[in-house]
Structure 1
Amino acid sequence: MIPEIGHFALALALALSLAQAVLPLVGAQRRDARLMAAGPGLAAGVLIAVATAFAALLWSFALNDTTVTNVVQNSHSAKPMLYKLAGAWGNHEGSMVLWVLILALCGAAVSAFGRNLPGALRARVLAVLGMIATGFLAFILATSNPFLRVWPPAADGQGLNPVLQDPGLAFHPPLLYLGYVGTAVTFAFAIAALIEGRVDAAWGRWVRPWALASWSFLTLGIALGSWWAYYELGWGGYWFWDPVENASLLPWLAGCALLHSAIVVEKREALKTWSVLLAILAFSMSLLGTFLVRSGVLNSVHAFANDPERGVFILALLLLTMGGAFALFAWRAPALAPTGVFAPLSREGALVLNNLILCTIAAVVLAGTLYPMFADLMLKAKISVGPPFYQATVFPLALPLILAMAAGPLMAWKRAKPWPVLQRLWWVALAALGAIALVWLVQGRPILPALGFGAALWLILGAFVDVAERIALFSRPRAALARARGLPRAAWGGAVAHAGFGVTLLGMAGMGLATERLAAVRPGETVSLGGYEWKLEGVRDVTGPNWTSRRATVTVTRGGAPVTVLQPEKRNFPLARQSTTEAAIHTTWASDLYAVMGEEENGRATLRLHHNPLAPWIWLGGAIMAFGGGLSLSDRRARVGAPARRAAAQDPGAAQDPGAARA
């Protein structure tokens, strides 16, 4: 009965979302206050219906209801409860319900917190969100129904994919979807602005919190996924330019550019057309990632499905959504004339440079991700685009971006002079150059890790200088504390986020100095790596809830003193007929000692050992970046919304807008 309630709730949500897509839009066009007022109620109804369906899905997984096909394929009675619940969204069908649930939450949030929006604009935003929800709910009901029954009931489920039975992967998808769906809200604001034919400072203020929230959740989701791949897959690194990894990086890059361009719209009413285009592109990249992961065109440990029928449906939805958006943009963009003027050397100019480089990097990553598929389809050629391509193309583009990240916040708005900026940053530049020279001379390695250390120091110290200048730390130190308390949280958040990126760069640079060794050893034998002695004490059998494993015990010493004991495993899941690698990691924050167990033969166990300097700083930096985004989001200016919009000649209905007076 519960699965039928969930199925009915999805059908009800589809009907309500269709009404949400039509009624507020018609009301905004006719200036009918009653139709516009229907939007918030319909959005709340969609949320209740989808939440009911998701609760029914969780109930089915928690009880291991083997009359539901989705439960049989992705759960098992022996699994811990956390992974039973995570199994509800650890598959294609359930993940789509979670996607729509978060979209419905965002629609309800726009209704609840957007009361200061002009009535017509809010109605159009809700209508666009209703259109998106309609498309995805139709996709779920037509091709991905999570409540299909199986008869007779199975004796038990087949179990969740073993590599997904991990706390990191339990929380990674919800965080990532919060970021993806956040781009849907900024997309809705962009389409609403195009329909209205108006983008101004108030629009930039309304869009920024959503862009900021989306970017922050994407940052957390990507960092968590990267950390999971590091410790669960046993690859020993943090990023492998896997196509599905790239699918999450693309909307992050576009969202980062939008976040910065919206600042210029808010401050100077410039970059209007560009900001609208970025909002469309960010959501386009999110939809493209959905298509790549679920269409079967990619083979990856991250991919959800391998079903061409679903891929065709999502591709049609992608083409319809993006085709309509770009057609509307081509028609209405000429009306969005910029009113702000600024010199190339200014804070606005630095933000424009930031946008251009971020979008160029996104274009390079997109080309590297899609070209192998097109080559296979059109040329029947199997081409692999791997890390060397991205390292040769992305890293040179990142260097001017990093330079601008520290210098841009110190520039004046509208017109800036280079000398005052150089005066503030000269000692930061000396420290960065000194770090580059020191690492290069001491390590004797390629220049890239040394440049990474210098860039990291440049960003971290540059963020410190930004805050120090704002609170007059050096010129008026006695009043600095009081000024720090009064500094807007958005200013703190921007500096923290930039410093967090510097911390991540520091970890990446440290990983450039990592050492690795592959050795087949007998119990009692010792291997040297990174100044440590790694001794295999033995290998034994271990039994878990739904797996068995061979677990090695490796004692690590340095100079004869014990450091740690590592226990890497090779796990076997009999039900899934699949094996996984469980890396053993000892971290000191200065470095990670990392051991992976391979195959056994002739009394020898194959061990892959890594010494990874500063590796934890990669994910620490991601957390700091997300914290900076949250700090900016807590700024009162983001919570109270935008100032009142000025009357616009091209908007004859503005005076009749019941919400305009409250904006």
Structure 2
Amino acid sequence: MIAELGHYALILALALALVQSVLPVWGSRTGDDALMGTAAPVALAQALFVSLSFAALTWAYVTSDFSVANVYENSHSAKPLIYKISGVWGNHEGSMMLWVLILALFGGLVAVFGKNLPQSLKANVLAVQAWVALAFLLFILLTSNPFLRLDPAPIEGRDLNPILQDVGLAIHPPLLYFGYVGFSICFAFAVAALIDGRLDAAWARWVRPWALTAWIFLTLGIAMGSYWAYYELGWGGWWFWDPVENASFMPWLIGTALIHSAVVMEKREALKVWTVLLAILAFSLSLLGTFLVRSGVLTSVHSFATDPARGVFILAILVLFIGGSLSLYAWRAPTLKQGGLFAPVSREGALVLNNLFLSAACAAVLVGTLYPLALESITGEKISVGAPFFNSTFVPLMIPLLIAMPFGPLLAWKRGDLLGVVQRLLVAIAAAVFTTGILLALVTGGSVLAPLAVGLAVFIIVGALADLAERAALWRVPLKVSFARARGLPRSAWGTAFAHIGMGLVILGIVGDSAWKSEVVQRVKIGESVSISDYTLTLESLFPRNGPNYQEGVARFTVSRNGKTIGTVEPSRRIFLARRMPTTEAALLTHGFSQLYIAPGETFTENSIDVRIYDKPLVLWIWLGCLVMVAGGGLSLSDRRYRIGAPRTAKMRSATLQPAE
């Protein structure tokens, strides 16, 4: 009965999305306040019914209702509760339900927090959001219904894919989807602005918090997925340029450009064309990621669907929304007034440079991701594009961007003094040169370019601190006054510094792991030892252990450093009973910001085991740096301007689409 109620709630949500997609737009075109006023309550009602439907599916998983086909295919009564819940989105149908749930929740948030929006713009934004919801609700009900019944009901389920039975994979998809779907609000604002004829600094202030929210969640989702792949898949890597990884990385790159472009538009009413295009592209790339994962064109640990009918349906959604929005943009863009002029050497110029390099880097990733698929569809030839291509195209585009990063916040608006900025960055430059020189002199092994990359990371970190010091007038006024000025800085200034520092930390982690890691692959018998770097690992015992729905063989190692025992690790090989599928459970021993990584091989006998051991210097900075970037985004999001919102009154300058000057 619960499943039928969930299905009925989904149908009601579809009907509400249809109402929301038509009446507010009609009211906006005719000036009917009553019709425009339906947008917010209908959006809230749609969010309510989608939530009820998702709750019904979750209840079916928690209670192990195997009469529901989706639960039978992806759950098991012996599975821990957390994985019963995460199993809801650990499959195609459930993940689409999660997508629509988050989409509806974002629409509800706009309805609640959009009180300062002009009524016409708010109506159009919620209508565009409903168009997207309508398409995906139709997709679920017609091709991916999660509430289909089995008769007779099986006694037991087939269990969730074992590699998805992990805390990281319980958290990763919701975070990623909040990022993906969050950009739908930016998309809706962009399309609504093009329809409504309102595009000004206030519009940028309305869009930027939603872009920041989506960017924060997408950063967390990518970081969580990277760390899950690192410790769960047993390869010891944190990024593989997998096409589905790329599908989440591309919206992140464009979303980063969107946030910076919105700053210029908010401050100077410039880069309107850029900002609207980036808002459209960010969500378009999110839709492209959805197509890649669920169309069956990719084979990946991330992908779910292999049904061509589903792929065709999602492709139609892709063509409709991407093609339609870009066509609207092409029609309206020439009429956009460009706004204030600025010199190339200025903060606006630095942000334009930022957008150009981020967009070019995204294009490089897009080509490397789609080219093999296009070639196979045209010629039937299968090729793979891996790290060598991406490293040779993506990295060179990022280096000048990273070098320019500390300069941007220190440049003045409209016209900047480059020489003056260099003088204010002398401490950062000196720190970078000193660090590079020390590493070149003392560190052996690894790439010759690694010390230069570390120097670049130090330059970014100290440059961000230099910006804060400059704003606080550090050393130019008494310390008490400097601290007072620092406390009074806008949170967005602190957010920018934190985000840049986080990027510097990520670079440190990448360089440390890529250039200076050590690796040993060896078969070890009980009582034997393996040495790597300054560490010695001794195999103490091999023993079986039972879990709730799996059996595992465990290897216990004692780890010592310079003759002193510092810990015990237990890597294992698991067999999940329902699917008889093995997984590798690597063991991690953290020392400082580095880790020892121990992964068992396939050979696992009574007295010996194959083992792969890595010493990974500074690797934790990769994910800690991501958290610092997220903290920076959160600080910016909490800035007073966004808590208050853009003015509602009619006194602010009216912005309409005007002929280009």
TM-score interval (norm. to shorter):
over 0.9
Q: Which amino acid is the alignment partner of residue 630 of structure 1?
A: G
Shift in Å, 1:648: 4.5
Query: 1:650 and 1:425 mapped to 2: Cα distance?
Result: 41
Q: Which residue of 1 aligns with 2:653?
A: 646
Query: 1:632 and 1:304 mapped to 2: Cα distance?
Result: 36
Query: 2:366 and 2:88 mapped to 1: Cα distance?
Result: 30
Shift in Å, 1:444: 3.7
Range 371-380 or range 22-31, more displaced: 371-380
Range 298-307 or range 171-180, more displaced: 298-307
Query: Contact 2:271–2:339 at 8 Å: present in 1 too?
Result: no
Q: Which residue of 1 aligns with 2:458?
A: 457
Question: Tell me, what secondary structure is at the counterpart of 1:517?
Answer: strand
Displacement over 4 Å in runs of 4+: 648-651
Query: 2:320 and 2:542 mapped to 1: Cα distance?
Result: 57
Query: Contact 1:197–1:332 at 8 Å: present in 2 too?
Result: no
Q: Which residue of 1 aligns with 2:491?
A: 489
Q: Which residue of 1 aligns with 2:278?
A: 278
Range 346-355 or range 532-541, more displaced: 532-541
Query: Contact 2:92–2:305 at 8 Å: present in 1 too?
Result: yes
Aligned ranges 1:109-508 → 2 under 5 Å: 109-441=109-441, 442-476=443-477, 477-508=479-510
Query: Contact 1:440–1:446 at 8 Å: present in 2 too?
Result: no
Give the alignment partner of residue 638 of structure 2, picking from 618, 634, 647.
634
Range 253-262 or range 556-565, more displaced: 556-565
Shift in Å, 1:270: 0.7
Cα displacement string for residues 571-607 of structure 1 (whole angstroms, at most 9, x for unaligned residues): 1112112110000001123310110001226753110
Shift in Å, 1:551: 0.8
Q: Which amino acid is the alignment partner of residue 611 of structure 2?
A: L
Query: Contact 1:539–1:552 at 8 Å: present in 2 too?
Result: yes
Q: Which amino acid is the alignment partner of residue 646 of structure 1?
A: R
Shift in Å, 1:555: 1.5
Query: 1:296 and 1:475 mapped to 2: Cα distance?
Result: 62
Query: Contact 1:295–1:308 at 8 Å: present in 2 too?
Result: yes
Query: Contact 1:471–1:484 at 8 Å: present in 2 too?
Result: yes
Shift in Å, 1:538: 2.4
| CA RMSD between the two structures | 1.2
Cα displacement string for residues 225-274 of structure 1 (whole angstroms, at most 9, x for unaligned residues): 10111111111121111111111001000100000000011111111011
Aligned ranges 1:581-596 → 2 under 5 Å: 581-596=584-599
Cα displacement string for residues 410-451 of structure 1 (whole angstroms, at most 9, x for unaligned residues): 000000011110111112112112222332332242133223
Question: Tell me, what secondary structure is at the counterpart of 1:443?
Answer: coil
Cα displacement string for residues 29-85 of structure 1 (whole angstroms, at most 9, x for unaligned residues): 111100000000110110011000011011100100010001001111001111111
Query: Contact 1:197–1:336 at 8 Å: present in 2 too?
Result: no
Question: Tell me, what secondary structure is at the counterpart of 1:447?
Answer: coil
Question: Tell me, what secondary structure is at the counterpart of 1:439?
Answer: helix
TM-score, normalised to structure 2's length? 0.97
Query: 1:378 and 1:471 mapped to 2: Cα distance?
Result: 59
Query: 1:238 and 1:650 mapped to 2: Cα distance?
Result: 46
Cα displacement string for residues 604-653 of structure 1 (whole angstroms, at most 9, x for unaligned residues): 311000000011111111111111101111111011111353134769xx
Query: 2:189 and 2:208 mapped to 1: Cα distance?
Result: 11
Q: Which amino acid is the alignment partner of residue 628 of structure 1?
A: G
TM-score, normalised to structure 1's length? 0.97
Cα displacement string for residues 172-224 of structure 1 (whole angstroms, at most 9, x for unaligned residues): 11111111111100000000111123311111111100011110110001001
Question: Tell me, what secondary structure is at the counterpart of 1:607?
Answer: strand
Question: Tell me, what secondary structure is at the counterpart of 2:222?
Answer: helix
Alignment partner of 1:83 is 2:83: yes
Query: Contact 1:526–1:536 at 8 Å: present in 2 too?
Result: yes
Cα displacement string for residues 264-298 of structure 1 (whole angstroms, at most 9, x for unaligned residues): 11111111011110011101100000000111111
Structure 1, unmatched stretches of 5+, are: 652-663
Q: Which amino acid is the alignment partner of residue 217 of structure 1?
A: F
Question: Tell me, what secondary structure is at the counterpart of 2:152?
Answer: coil
Query: Contact 2:223–2:626 at 8 Å: present in 1 too?
Result: yes
Query: 1:234 and 1:429 mapped to 2: Cα distance?
Result: 39
Question: Tell me, what secondary structure is at the counterpart of 1:369?
Answer: helix
Range 281-290 or range 424-433, more displaced: 424-433
Structure 2, unmatched stretches of 5+, are: none
Q: Identity, % of aligned pairs?
A: 56
Give the alignment partner of residue 597 of structure 1, picking from 586, 600, 609.
600
Q: Which residue of 2 aligns with 1:550?
A: 553
Query: Contact 1:424–1:465 at 8 Å: present in 2 too?
Result: yes
